[in-house]
Amino acid sequence: MSALLPSGAAYRDAVATALADGWRFASLHATSDHGDPAVRTLLTSPEGTTRLETVDAHGGVVPTIVDLAPAAGWDEREAHDLYGVRFDGHAPLRPLVEHEVPLARFTTPVHGSDPYQIAVGPIHAGVIESGHFRFHVVGDLILHVDARLFYKHRGLERAAEGLPLADGLPVVARACAGCWVTNAVAYAQACEEALGLSPTPELARSRTILLELERVWNTLNDIGAICAGVGIAAGTARFAVLADDARQLNARLTGHRFLFGSVAVAGSALDLDEAAVGDARETLARIRRESSRAWHALLFNGSFMDRMPDIGIVDADAVQTLGVVGLAARAAGVAEDVRATSPWLAYDGFEPAALRRPAGDVQARLEQRALELLPCLDILDRLLAQPVRPSAAVATGTGSAVGVSRVESPRGATSCIVERDGDLVARVRLRTGSYANWPAVAFAAAGNLLPDFPLINKSFELCYACVDR
C-alpha cells in the first residue's frame, strides 16, 4: 500500500488545494492492513461529489490538517487514541476516546484569580446518555467548556470487521436508535458503491420514505426538548404526544417504533399496501394540522419566544470553521443539505429551506426545525401516493475496495466509509451529524450564562450514543 500512496507533504498539499477550491472536510479515520496504519480523509464538493485522500502513516506519523480544517480535530484525536497515529503539528493532541488520563490532559488550562470550574456529569438526572461537561466560568459567565463523551464506547466498528457486508449493517446501525435509518442507509449505500451496485428508483423511494419518517418524529421530539429547556410544560407535552404519534405510525408500517430492521444492503423488504400508505398519509396530515396549531401557540407565547434570541450563537463563519452540519448550519444561513445532491435517494428537486432570520442562535435553530417539518411532510405525502413494494439494487459497475456514502440525518450529514476484503468488512467508519456538531455546542456556550447551557444544548439536541460507537 505505502508505495502507492503520497508522502505526508503531498497529502497535506492535496487537502489544502482541495479546500482552497471549495471542497469541505467531511471525515478522517485511520485504517490498517497489519502494517503501518494509513489515514483517509474524506472531502466533499458543493455539488455533493466525494473524494478520499489517503496517506501512509510512516512510523505512525502524518502531518496534521487541523490548521487547514479545524473540523478534523476530533477525528485526528480519535485516530491517535484507537490506532496510535501521531499528527505532526497537532498540539496538544488531547485524548478523545481514551479516558484513563489525568484531568489536565483533556481540559483547557484557564488561569486567574476569578475563574473556577464546574463539573457536570457524566451521570445526569434525566434519562440521557453519559456525557461530562466541565465549565470554566467567572460568576455565571461561561469562558470555555470541555465536553467529554465516549463513556460507553461499544466497539461497533471493530465488531463489524470480518463480518459479511450484509451482516455488518445491524451492528453499525445500532450506533443510535434515533438515527437508526440514517446510519443503516449510509452503511448500505457505502457497501453498494463498493460492490458496484446502485438502487433502483423503487429502492430509492423506499429508503427516502424511511429517512423522512425518522426525520418527522425527531423534529417533533426536538421542538419539545427545546420547550423543556425553557420550562414550558404545555409545549413539551404537546410535541411529545405528536412525536409518539409519529413513532406509533412507524410501528404500524415496519413493526418497530424506531424503524429497526427496515433497511438492508442491496435491497428492501418494505411492503406497504394501499391501506398502509393511506393510513400513513392520513396520520401525517393530522400531525401537520396539530403541529401547526401547537407551533402557532408557541409563537404567540411571549415569555417563551423572548427566552431564545441571541443565545448560543454559531454564525456562518463559525459553521465553516468548525464544520457544522445540518439544521444548525442552515440556521446560520449556510444552506447545505445532503438531500439536495444525493444521487441514490428520491429527493428530486429538493432545495434546503431558508430562514428569514438566519442568526445561528437558539431561536433560529428552533425556527429552522419548524420550517423544515413542512417540506418533510410534503415529501412523504408525495412518496406515499402509491403502495411500496420490495426492491433490490442492480449491478451498474465493477465496484472498488472502498465505498463512500453521505446521508442527511435529523442532525446533519452522516458519512460512512466501508473498506471491504472481498465480501467481508475490512474497516468501517461512521461519522454522524452529532459527531460533527458536538464541538459546536461547546463553542456556542462560551460567552453565555451558565443557566443558558441546558437550552443551548437542547437547541442542538445531539446524540450521545452516536459517538459512543
- Chain-centre distance of CA 288, in angstroms? 25
Angstrom distance (rounded) from CA 416 to CA 29: 11
Q: Which of 165, 121, 98 is nearest to 426 (CA)?
A: 165
Q: Which three cell numbers stand for residue 355?
A: 430562514
Q: To which residue does cell 446524540 refer?
A: 463
- Cell numbers for 21: 477550491
pLDDT at 99: 84
Question: Environment class of residue 173 by beta-carbon count within 10 Å: exposed (0-12), middle (13-18) or buried (19+)?
Answer: buried
Find cell 482541495 and name the residue.
18
Q: What is the pLDDT of residue 436?
A: 97
All domains of the chain, ordered by start, with CATH?
2-88 (3.30.460.80), 156-458 (1.10.645.10)
The one-letter code for the residue type at 290 is E
Give pLDDT tens digits along the chain (469 positions): 444 567 888 999 999 999 999 999 999 999 986 677 999 999 999 999 999 999 999 889 999 999 999 999 999 999 999 999 999 999 999 999 988 777 777 777 777 778 888 888 888 777 678 888 999 999 999 999 999 999 888 899 999 999 999 999 999 999 999 999 999 999 999 999 999 999 999 999 999 999 999 999 999 999 999 999 888 999 999 999 999 999 999 999 999 999 999 999 999 999 999 999 999 999 999 999 999 999 999 999 998 999 999 999 999 999 999 999 999 999 999 999 999 999 999 999 999 999 999 999 999 999 999 999 999 999 999 999 999 999 999 999 889 999 999 999 999 999 999 999 999 999 999 999 999 999 999 999 999 999 999 999 999 999 988 888 8
Distance (Å, whole) CA 282 – CA 276: 10
Question: Could you say which DSSP state residue 331 is in?
Answer: T
Residue 91: partners with Cβ closer than 8 Å, 6 or more residues away? none
Determine the pLDDT at residue 2: 40
Cell triple for 85: 497515529
pLDDT for the residue numbered 4: 53
DSSP string, 351-413: -----S----SHHHHHHHHHHHHHHHHHHHHHHTSS-B--EEEEE-S---SEEEEEEEETTEE
Q: How far apart are CA 469 and CA 467, in angstroms?
A: 5
pLDDT for the residue numbered 7: 81
What per-residue confidence (pLDDT) applies to 468? 86
Return the pLDDT at 72: 97
Closest-CA residue to 108 (of 465, 445, 453, 454): 445
Q: Which residues pair with 119 in a beta bridge?
A: 134
